[in-house]
Amino acid sequence: MNTDRRQGGCGSTRDAGDGATSPEDASTLAARPVDATELLLWALMHKFERPALEHYAAHASALATAEKRSFVTRLDALEADEAPLAASTLAAPVDELLARARGADAISVLIVQGLVLEHLGQAIYGIAESTEQASPASRTLAAVGRAASVSVTAIASAEIAARVGTHERLYAVFVDASEEVIAALDPLAEPVDEVFGERFGLRFADVLGEFAAGLITACTALGMQRRKVVAHLAGACMGL
């Protein structure tokens, strides 16, 4: 785990890389993905990751870990053209999801960004990392992204427990904070399958399965009853 996550004064995260560039960093930066669909994926992830880091810097600075800052710097460096993303079927549901994730207080940032959306990112990175259809550069980047996200969720869980509590007390807050964002995931299903399914074998159902498994496991580790968390996810997914 990163030990200097509180360093760096995250007020300006655009410049908040951790400074040193390792040989691995350099080789990854050199091996930039060139495939248009891969770049679209990274433009998409950048659209999530950059505001997330800014939210962390503003509301929950411990979550702006060195790993996350370094990863977002890598995504910045890709300079993936956002125009294809804006023109794709992903644009509207992504904008809707991000609008719902725009929490303005520490608790909603911790829960929505630090827990829910980070687990969504981990699911996407985990699948991208393991798919042989992706380039080595993208697979490496996905592995780095997943590790960065894990560094955030570990701290987010501890922060949530410290600030909100655990078990039933946390469950009520978690439900309230996460419902709208979870309900906004479904419209992504068809666009994700359409854009990334054939190229990467990245299906939204797999992402959702991985996401749910990770999020439920994290919630139960915080003392929430598994059955109730599953019911919350089911209700949000079913619109009930």
Partner 1 sequence: MQTRESPDTTPASSDPPAARRQAMSSLMGLAIFGEKVAARTYLAMADLRADHGDLLRKFAAMEARHGSSFLQVSRANAVEPDREFADRELGYLVEQVERYARASDFDALAVLQGFIVESLAIATYEPFLGLADTYPGAREAFATALADERYHVDWITRYLRLRYFGAVGEFLGLAERVNTQGIDCVGGSLMSIAGYLDVVGLSGAQCAAGMLDGYAGLLEDVGLDQRTALRSVTTLFAPLMAKYRRREHR
Which residues does 166 contact at the CB level (< 8 Å), separation at least 6? 222, 223, 224
Q: Is 117 in the site for partner 1 (CB under 8 A)?
A: no
State the nearest-atom distance from the C-beta of 222 to partner 1, in Å.
Answer: 15
145-171 in b/e form (b: 16+ CB < 10 A) is bbbbbbbbbbbbbebbeeebeeeeebb
The verdict on 210 binding partner 1 (CB under 8 A) reads yes
Nearest approach in angstroms of CB 220 to partner 1 is 8
For residue 153, the minimal CB distance to partner 1 (Å) is 14
- Using alpha carbons, select from 150, 163, 217, 158 the residue that is nearest to residue 2: 150
When asked if residue 186 is in the footprint of partner 1 (CB under 8 A), the reply is: yes
Q: Does 96 bind partner 1 (CB under 8 A)?
A: no
- State yes or no: residue 240 binds partner 1 (CB under 8 A): yes
Contact 82, 98 (CB under 8 A): no
Q: Does 235 bind partner 1 (CB under 8 A)?
A: yes
Residue type, 198: E
Rule CB under 8 A: choose which of 34, 77, 99, 234 binds partner 1.
234
31 binds partner 1 (CB under 8 A): no
Q: Which structure tokens are listed for 154?
A: 């570990």
Site size for partner 1, by CB under 8 A? 24
Give the Cβ contact number of residue 107 at 10 Å. 19
| Residue 26 or 172 with smaller CB distance to partner 1 | 172
User: Residue 134: CB partners within 8 Å, gap ≥ 6?
Assistant: 38, 128, 142, 200
Q: Does 29 bind partner 1 (CB under 8 A)?
A: no
Binding of partner 1 by 205 (CB under 8 A) = yes
Q: Where are the beta strands (DSSP E) in the chain?
A: none
Among 9, 19, 136, 209, contact with partner 1 (rule: CB under 8 A)? 209
Which ranges in 133-166 belong to alpha helices (H)? Answer: 136-163
CB of 210 to partner 1, least distance (A): 6
Among residues 89, 62, 88, 46, the alpha carbon closest in space to that of 8 is found at 62
Of the two residues 43 and 215, which places its CB atom closer to partner 1 in the complex?
Answer: 215
Q: Is 129 in the site for partner 1 (CB under 8 A)?
A: no
77 binds partner 1 (CB under 8 A): no
Asked if residue 185 lies in contact with residue 208, where contact means CB atoms within 8 angstroms, the answer is yes
Q: What mask of x and - would describe binding to partner 1 in positions 211 to 230, judged by CB under 8 A?
A: -xxx-xx--------xxx-x
Using CB under 8 A as the criterion, which residues of the chain lie in contact with partner 1 when the complex forms? 186, 189, 205-206, 208-210, 212-214, 216-217, 226-228, 230-231, 233-235, 237-240
